[in-house]
Structure 1
Amino acid sequence: MVRRAASVDENQAEVVAAFRKMGCSVQPLHTVGQGCPDLLIGHLGVNRVVEVKDGKKPLGKRQLTPDQQTWHNQWRGEVDVAESVDDAVRLVRKWTGWQSDS
């Protein structure tokens, strides 16, 4: 089986930068394939997985692929989706109660 090169959403770099600005460690996972989420995020001793979708694309173009849907359905932990820097901020706040003036 020939594997396609993993695609990276255009906004992934800015989402990664936002997580790092908030003190998170970030390990890109997009090359794993098979529906695995794009990012492994560590913050305050807790690891999270995040699928990045480009929020600027039309709604139908930012849905999970069939492989991603399968992965999300079979994963027994938490997995989140971020479409923007605002989503990254929202997720860190949800996970940790982190607050910022910016």
Structure 2
Amino acid sequence: MPGSCILVTTRKESVAKRMESPHVVRLKLLPEEMCWLILSQKAFSERSQASREILEDIGREIANKCQGLPLAAKAIGGLLQDKQGREEWQNVLNNVIWK
């Protein structure tokens, strides 16, 4: 259909080449602070200010481990919504999955 287009997102340039895309846009990784904002928005959506203050330091370390990937920050933030205390957040920070 004229005027239609398909948007393909990938981290692998070889996939874009295989799709024979005429326009490839290379996005940069997000700064650490932006990852923190995305993660904290999800993780703290229903928490008190006191809870935020208790968990923020661990949350910032977790956001740093997202390495600028917005989807990772959003997904981990969603996971952290259900984690109540420092110990549970610390378990996420120290999890072997980061390796």
Q: Which has the larger radius of gyration?
A: 2
Specify which structure has the higher proportion of helix. 2
Structure 1 length-normalised TM: 0.30
Specify which structure has the higher proportion of strand. 1
Structure 2 length-normalised TM: 0.30
Answer 1 or 2: higher relative contact order, Cα 8 Å, separation at least 6: 2
